[in-house]
Amino acid sequence: MPVHEEQLRSERAHVDGLYRRLDAERTRVEARYREALRGNGTSPMERDVEVRAQAGELKRLGVADHGLCFGRLDAVDGERRYIGRIGLFDEDDDYRPLLLDWRAPAARPFYTATAASPEGMRRRRQFHTRGREITDFTDEVLGRPDGETAGDAALLAAVNAPRGEGMRDIVATIQAEQDRIIRLDHPGVLVIEGGPGTGKTVVALHRVAYLLYAQRERMERSGVLVVGPNPAFLNHIGRVLPSLGESDVVFATTGDLVPGLHVTAEDGPEAAELKGSLEVLDVLRAAIADRQRLPEQPRNIELEDVTVRIDAATAAWAREEARDSGLPHNEARAVFIEIVTYVLTERAIARIGQGWLTRDDAEAWEALRADLLSELAQHPDFTEVLDELWPILAPQRLLADLYSSPERLRTVGAKQLHRAEGAAWTVSDVPLLDELVDMLGTTKTAGGEKDSEREAEYAAGVLEILQTERHDLMDDEDHLLAQDLLHAEDLAERFVEHDTRELAERAAADRDWTYRHVVVDEAQELSEMDWRVLMRRCPNRSFTVVGDLAQRRSPAGARTWGAVLDRYVPGRWAYRELTVNYRTPAEIMEVAAALLADFAPDVTPPDSVRACGVQPWHRQVAETDMSRAVADFTDAEAKREGTSVVIGPPGVPGAVAPAETKGLEFDAVLVVEPARILAENPRGAAELYVALTRATQRLGVLHHDPLPEVLASRVGKR
């Protein structure tokens, strides 16, 4: 038997053994899960904790059904290390590692060792698998200048493979440049910038998986938030982290960051720019102040024994005290009411008690005040005046009323924000609504603030457990300590008995949830106000920021990373750049690079690692023939393996806008009417650059209008 076949047979047998170990472990965990469901006398909270723990372990084991082991390292001292998606250990042999998790320090040479720097290794073997079966393997000899480069062959096979419905993990083919970023020990904000196809998104997701592995106890309690540009992008990347065994992750667009809000409209450039800038904070403050009114005429309140009057002077004093309290608007209402009622009762007592009651009789004075306060609290006219002068405000109602009122917008100096339907929310409204939650404060009534005894009792149990475990947490400043939780009632809404929802589901539904780490993709599009929302979601400022400034299309987006981050994390953010294009073949990147040089001459395009052998083409057609030509493209691509897309300006049948394809990749792309894309908005060149760089194999350009000069000389005619 040839040596290769003999070794392949041996590797198959070894991996079969790993799968038997995996199946046995899963059987044990399933038994523990069923036992946890029964509870066996534990408290409801302890039961829920154990159920979630075992369910998480089942998910971790489940991701390894396919591609459990994808490689082997042979050290110069003869040690063999098998590398895979998860770690497996021999419990009967002092937990000897049978399979190393790809994130473990001992697995790192699998990604970083080279012929020139072998890191104590002599060979890297990469398995090619289908399901649970090894179909073949390739070896790379390390430590010799003329060593083989089979690792490159594995990489090229991966990037040349037809695209499926979603992004794939790169756990088997991580490159050294990517691995250094994935494992970077940086506690603050990490910016990963790279041109199209450099893998910045998938590197960021693998970095999350690595952090969840290396900092499991810290990370899993709060979870991770991944923010992307649109739902299609989130769907595209949504399989990567689950395929790596990580599920405590919330995927959201910036439009999802206020739970329950539905975005149905789109702002024009002028409105979007104002809403995205910090200047809009003054607009919001002015809008709130505008609702804190003074009576144009004194308002009389007829009580049983006396008529009291609220005049402008009284309301002005109360308003000043309420504003100076520093409380949010709705909470400052109590201060406003306190001052108004003090003035009214003082005046009323003086009139009622004239001739028989003095301040020296403090007990009688206060007894009369109490009666008057009770009568005022139940008087509908008094409530009506308070609601007029200092109303309880809700974010959505306040903003909708502002947008639909030209008069109010003139008052606050933001007439460009007018729209007929105030509640037709846009993505740019989300950070404003989120800001108003804090500016306005709670809108609950006294009755609504009362928690049930059962919820409070459950929360008290949380406190008790935290107190008993406090000594275990003292060395970890990032843990939530018992002294940080003042009242059981404060926890009752967060910790609800028998809340069996997954962490991601609970976090996504809770506006006040804070995350341990946040990933922001296409970050160049986020406005200053978007960043305020995200910083509130992650108080410890642990971020992975992914973007390409050259692809910015939003007028409110980032022009430099420092302008965005220095406000929040001065001196605490690091920058790393990816320079190798793994997606876009050289033939297509040459076309895109010419456009990039035209609108962003200071930006260096990434280097493509491969050529596809297919030249980009263009075809000019009559306007009446455009629909048929687009259909011909889609029909032809439907017969091929892989994915395709038509990208064009509004009005092109069957086409999507360039912005909707950001972060996505397709085997074949047809760009329609590039001249119109360029002219569509001030950042049209960036949009066309995005469109041209989505293809991994084939690029075509269809147009009726003349082809832009920058493309004409680089795209062959069909």
Annotated binding site for ATP, which residues? 194-201
Q: Which residue has the tokens 């609800």?
A: 496
Q: Is 197 left (phi over 0), alpha (psi -120 to 50) or beta?
A: left
In whole angstroms, how large is the CA radius of gyration of the chain? 32
Query: How many angstroms separate the CA atoms of 260 and 423, rounded?
Result: 13
Q: What tokens appear for 654 in the block?
A: 């069957």
Q: What tokens appear for 552 in the block?
A: 């910015």
Q: What tokens appear for 603 in the block?
A: 């930006």
Q: Which residue has the tokens 């090894």?
A: 134
Q: Which residue has the tokens 């393996």?
A: 641
Question: 90 — phi, psi (to 5°)?
Answer: -90, 105
Strand partners, 136: 128
Query: How many angstroms separate the CA atoms of 697 and 689, rounded?
Result: 16
Distances (CA, A) of 633 to 161, 444, 495: 21, 57, 54
- Other C-beta atoms lying within 10 Å of the C-beta of residue 238: 18
Q: At what angle do helices 329-352 and 430-440 cross, to 10 degrees?
A: 30
Query: How many angstroms separate the CA atoms of 95 and 372, rounded?
Result: 76
Query: Between the CA atoms of 369, 371, 375 and 377, what dihedral angle is there, to the nearest 10 degrees?
Result: 60
Task: Supply angle C-alpha 347, 352, 354, rounded to 5.
Answer: 90
Contact 186, 575 (CB under 8 A): no
Q: Which residues contact 334 (CB under 8 A, 6 or more apart)?
A: 327
Query: Between the CA atoms of 366, 371, 377 and 378, what dihedral angle is there, to the nearest 10 degrees?
Result: 180
| Percent helix / strand / coil, the chain, rounded to 5 | 50, 15, 35
Residues placed in the known binding site: 194-201
The amino acid at residue 298 is P
Contact 667, 584 (CB under 8 A): no
Query: Between the CA atoms of 393, 395, 396 and 398, what dihedral angle is there, to the nearest 10 degrees?
Result: 50
Q: Which residue has the tokens 């459950």?
A: 458
- Other C-beta atoms lying within 10 Å of the C-beta of residue 374: 10
Contact 376, 370 (CB under 8 A): no
Query: How many angstroms separate the CA atoms of 596 and 689, rounded?
Result: 7
Contact 237, 229 (CB under 8 A): no
**DSSP code, position 118:** -
Query: How many angstroms separate the CA atoms of 326 and 703, rounded?
Result: 59
Q: Which residue has the tokens 């992307």?
A: 228
Burial class (CB in 10 A: 0-12, 13-18, 19+), 264: exposed
Q: What tokens appear for 140 in the block?
A: 């790379």
Burial class (CB in 10 A: 0-12, 13-18, 19+), 202: buried
Q: At what angle do helices 395-403 and 430-440 cross, to 10 degrees?
A: 120
Query: How many angstroms separate the CA atoms of 226 and 185, rounded?
Result: 20
